Amino acid sequence: MTTARPHHAADPRRRVPRTDAVLAEPELTAAAGRLGRDRVKRAVTAAQQRARDGVIAPSDVAADALAALPATATGIRPVLNASGVLLHTNLGRAPLSDAAVAAIGAAAGTCDVELDLTTGRRGTRGAGAVAALRDAVPGAGAAWIANNGAAALALVCAALAGPGREIVISRGQLVEIGDGFRIPELIESTGARLRPVGTTNRTHLSDYAGAIGPDTAFVLVVHPSNFVVSGFVSDVDLRELAGLGPPVVADIGSGLLTPHPLLPAEPDAAGALAGGADLVTASGDKLLGGPQAGLLLGGGERGTRLVEQVRRFPLARAMRVDKLTLAALEASVAGPPTPVREFLDTDPATLRPRADALAAALAADGVPASAADTVAGVGGGGAPGVELPSAAVALPARYAEALRAGDPPVLGRVAGDRCLLDLRAVPPSADSVLLGAVRAVRVG
């Protein structure tokens, strides 16, 4: 007696489409253009295996492969910032302006970042960004750009102090700048020696004067940025420090170039130079509203000379920024107001009507939403304690996790039993996106 062999044509695994046939599907061809053929082919192969295992039907291989592929070639996803923190470090701090994004596109290919098109010879790298900074900051005779604020300060310490020389600083300014990084450790990593003076709450001119000697490279003033000390405190004005003789370097942190009426206690670059600082270091991706960058601005003849000394220091080559950053920074400084500036300048009276309209639209769809008056903050290690009147859409707290998992993800903040979607850092043009994201959420 013989056993009949299985009819292979009836085996569904025989109907799994060939790889080249699946890759020829128009949607997968388009995906290969966005993501690369190898990545798409791996997704197709995995889908084919699921079909052979009986998990999906052979006819679903193309759709299954497409569903497994991301929309773009990067894992970074845009997030709608409804947290009420204008400069959210975990969200990349300052969102770039349309002008800055367009500038990045212009610089993305071959460009004249370091070429003089008139002569055909090598040009000055980042000349446009440097000129924009000098134009924007009264008193800045020179400028240079590093890859972040900490790099700018570290480079100044390495170039001007180097191994063995001293940097005089108040004990009240030996701060931690985030993620466990501390100013003393940053400075000492350059080989310079710290000479702390005064106490954590009170430092006087005589403290600085008593510490200055032949080994002094410069006096460093660091803005605390993310905290405020009040009560029995005192510090020394930049102009008084300038009278002691050594150069004065002011690390203002948040990158405010000129004063802003909502931030009277926040130091700005123009004010620091006018107040006696020879050099100012700051970040580009905070209150300036540009890309991540470290700014170095010099005032007066000595400041200009010191910027050149830093620029020519060998380590500066390792800390310079790329063409995309230079383009975005120039557009942020010289172009239209940045989103951060617009968020700061928003009339609070316009926020509650937006929250009311959004909440009403959601309530009409059966979503338990209401409008609420809130308080936003600057964030990004700047303007601690400054409260910005705002308004939000209030939802049950359980919405917070579901919104973060949505497409696009939305980051709100949980306060008690409510998830608040603060509008201070949400442009009006994104209200419809926010509305759609909440409507798409399904919570129990």
> pLDDT (tens digit, 9 = 90+) per residue, 171-210?
999 988 777 788 899 999 999 999 999 998 999 999 999 9
Report residue 8's pLDDT band, with 50, 70 and 90 as the boundaries: low
pLDDT at 413: 96
Same domain, 129 and 224: yes
pLDDT at 391: 98
Given a cut of 70, whether residue 398 has pLDDT beyond it is yes
Same domain, 237 and 117: yes
Same domain, 194 and 286: yes
Same domain, 85 and 210: no
Report if residue 271 sits inside a domain: yes
Torsion angle of C-alpha atoms 325, 330, 333, 339, degrees rounded to 10? -50
Report if residue 73 sits inside a domain: no
Same domain, 327 and 249: yes
Same domain, 141 and 161: yes
Which tens digit of pLDDT belongs to each residue from 124-178?
999 999 999 999 999 999 999 999 999 999 999 999 998 889 999 999 999 887 7
Same domain, 144 and 262: yes
pLDDT at 1: 47
**CATH code at 382?**
3.90.1150.180
Given a cut of 90, whether residue 227 has pLDDT beyond it is no
Same domain, 248 and 322: yes
Report residue 10's pLDDT band, with 50, 70 and 90 as the boundaries: low
Report if residue 191 sits inside a domain: yes
Report if residue 261 sits inside a domain: yes
- What is the C-alpha to C-alpha distance for residues 246 and 285, in angstroms, rounded to an integer? 30
The single residue listed with the structure tokens 């490279």 is 217
Same domain, 202 and 324: yes
Given a cut of 60, whether residue 339 has pLDDT beyond it is yes
Given a cut of 50, whether residue 59 has pLDDT beyond it is yes
Given a cut of 50, whether residue 293 has pLDDT beyond it is yes
Which tens digit of pLDDT belongs to each residue from 76-103?
999 999 999 999 999 999 999 999 999 9
Same domain, 14 and 53: yes
Same domain, 175 and 294: yes
- What is the C-alpha to C-alpha distance for residues 130 and 263, in angstroms, rounded to an integer? 25
Which range of residues forms the domain containing residue 194? 98-336
Q: Taken in order 281, 283, 289, 291, is the CA torsion positive or negative?
A: positive
Report residue 277's pLDDT band, with 50, 70 and 90 as the boundaries: very high
Report if residue 322 sits inside a domain: yes
Average pLDDT score, the chain: 93
pLDDT at 9: 53
Report if residue 207 sits inside a domain: yes
pLDDT at 7: 52
Which tens digit of pLDDT belongs to each residue from 379-397?
987 788 899 999 999 999 9
Report if residue 444 sits inside a domain: no
Given a cut of 90, whether residue 11 has pLDDT beyond it is no
Instruction: Tell me how far apart the terminal alpha carbons of the chain are, to the nearest angstrom.
Output: 61
Report residue 14's pLDDT band, with 50, 70 and 90 as the boundaries: confident
pLDDT at 444: 64
**CATH code at 199?**
3.40.640.10
Q: How many domains does the chain have?
A: 3
Given a cut of 60, whether residue 6 has pLDDT beyond it is no
Torsion angle of C-alpha atoms 196, 199, 203, 207, degrees rounded to 10? -50
pLDDT at 443: 79
Which tens digit of pLDDT belongs to each residue from 208-221?
999 999 999 999 99
Same domain, 254 and 370: no
If you average pLDDT over residues 302-327, what whole number do you get? 96
Which tens digit of pLDDT belongs to each residue from 346-380?
999 999 999 999 999 999 999 999 999 999 999 98
pLDDT at 97: 98
Contacts of 379 (CB under 8 A, 6+ apart): 85, 86, 87, 88, 89
Domain boundary among 285, 304, 336: 336
User: Of all residues in the chain, what percent carry a pLDDT higher than 70?
Assistant: 97
